[in-house]
């Protein structure tokens, strides 16, 4: 296994990006999805100007004001654009930099700290006035910071050391709570909160992200249906792993017809569904995932029992990162945290938010 894959895997686990890794799992040794990210496309013109989540401390998406970046040279160190989530983020930043009239210096770190360090050094030579940093090697963050120009820096989903002006990324606990509450509301409406088991598909190696996101799920669900009963916690976050694990779970629940399934990402949900299909028990599952991964859009659209999926909108990250970076470069005050507004996606609303070609 190559060291580059290990670094990318560790970074993705650390920040919870496994929620949105498209056609690859983001973890070294993981299985892969058969549907490429280009199989479905975002209808970005139809996306709402805000994500109506009720998340009090989120900042809203905003298109960069035309001309706001005129004469400015800004930078982007991206995670690895072979990873679909990273590519969506990069494309959004490029689009918003162009809209602002700024010159963008783009550098793909390819999941490697030494490459990210070279990117920062190049930014210094190029005279970059501020940059967005999505590089994956958290241990090298301060060295990368010192090597680059001493200018405003907005970190994307990974803390970037002492020079970080702001952190931009997901609100993991809220994202979990949002999906958990949606699941609880559905179970209350359909079954008066009566169910056979609650299965939590987790990734313990993700540490604080796993605790926050899956803890949020439980909090949201319990706020509607009370204390969770018959809880089964499984280490399963890749499709192949989740398929095998969930097949075993089903054997322990032979007479169960209302099984609540929550997951740290959409890969785990897709694996659980694959196992249930093999067992002829898809209708026994009531599901909720994280990310609204493009590869899951068609399944979400066609399955009303995929009750809710929390969207992270990587295709809109530039609508936060670029405007706030320009403000910081111009000396304006910006929040220390720029949390992405999340939204529940389900079969009823997915076509109004995205445009799945299915």
- Tell me which fold the domain 172-311 belongs to: Rossmann fold (3.40.50)
CA 75, CA 119: separation in Å to the nearest integer? 9
Structure tokens at 196: 């056979």
Q: What DSSP character marks residue 353? A: H
Q: What DSSP character marks residue 16? A: T
Which residue has 């995670």 as its token pair?
A: 79
CA 352, CA 358: separation in Å to the nearest integer? 14
The percent of residues above 70 in pLDDT, for the chain, comes to 85
pLDDT value of position 57: 78
Written out in words, the top-level CATH class of the domain with range 56-169+314-341 is: alpha beta
Contact 257, 196 (CB under 8 A): yes
Global model pTM greater than 0.95: no
Calculate the CA dihedral of residues 53, 54, 58, 60 and round it to 10 degrees: 70
Q: What is the pLDDT of residues 207-235, one digit of tens each?
A: 888 999 999 999 999 999 999 999 999 99
Q: What is the pLDDT of residues 96-130, one digit of tens each?
A: 999 999 999 999 999 899 999 999 999 999 999 99
**Same CATH fold, 172-311 and 56-169+314-341?**
yes
CA 119, CA 127: separation in Å to the nearest integer? 12
- How would residue 53 be classed by pLDDT, with cut points 50, 70 and 90? low
**Domain residue ranges of the chain, discontinuous segments joined by +:** 56-169+314-341, 172-311
Contact 322, 74 (CB under 8 A): yes
Question: Quick one: which of 290, 277, 289 has its CA closest to 247?
Answer: 277
- 34: which residues sit within 8 A by CB, 6+ positions away? 23
Mean pLDDT, rounded, of the chain: 87
Phi, psi of 167 (to 5 degrees): -110, 130
Beta pairing, strands 343-345 & 306-311: antiparallel
């Amino acid at each position: 296994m190559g060291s580059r894959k290990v670094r990318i895997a560790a970074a993705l686990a650390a920040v919870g990006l496994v929620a949105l890794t498209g056609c690859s799992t983001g973890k070294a040794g993981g299985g892969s999805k058969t549907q490429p990210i280009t199989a479905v496309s975002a209808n970005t013109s139809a996306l709402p100007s805000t994500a109506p989540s009720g998340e009090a401390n989120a900042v809203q998406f905003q298109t960069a004001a035309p001309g706001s970046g005129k004469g400015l040279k800004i930078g982007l160190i991206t995670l690895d654009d072979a990873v679909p989530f990273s590519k969506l983020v990069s494309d959004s930043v490029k689009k918003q930099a162009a809209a602002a009239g700024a010159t963008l210096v783009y550098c793909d770190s390819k999941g490697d700290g030494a490459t990210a360090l070279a990117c920062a050094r190049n930014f210094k030579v190029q005279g970059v006035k501020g940059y967005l940093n999505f590089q994956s090697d958290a241990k090298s963050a301060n060295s990368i910071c010192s090597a680059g120009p001493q200018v405003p820096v907005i970190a994307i989903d990974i803390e970037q050391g002492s020079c970080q002006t702001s952190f931009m990324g997901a609100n993991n606990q809220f994202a979990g709570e949002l999906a958990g509450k949606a699941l609880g509301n559905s179970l209350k409406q359909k079954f008066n909160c009566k169910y056979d088991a609650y299965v939590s598909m987790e990734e313990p190696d993700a540490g604080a992200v796993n605790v926050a996101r899956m803890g949020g799920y439980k909090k949201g669900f319990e706020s509607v249906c009370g204390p969770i009963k018959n809880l089964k916690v499984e280490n399963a976050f890749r499709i192949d792993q989740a398929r095998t694990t969930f097949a075993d779970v089903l054997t322990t629940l032979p007479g169960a017809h209302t099984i609540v399934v929550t997951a740290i990402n959409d890969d785990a949900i897709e694996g659980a569904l694959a196992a249930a299909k093999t067992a002829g028990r898809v209708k026994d599952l009531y599901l909720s995932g994280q990310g609204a991964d493009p590869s899951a859009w068609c399944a979400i659209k066609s399955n009303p029992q995929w009750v809710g999926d929390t969207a992270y909108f990587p295709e809109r990250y530039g609508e936060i990162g670029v405007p706030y970076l320009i403000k910081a470069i111009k000396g304006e005050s910006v929040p220390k945290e720029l949390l992405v507004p999340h939204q529940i996606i389900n079969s009823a609303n997915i076509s109004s938010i995205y445009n799945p070609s299915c």
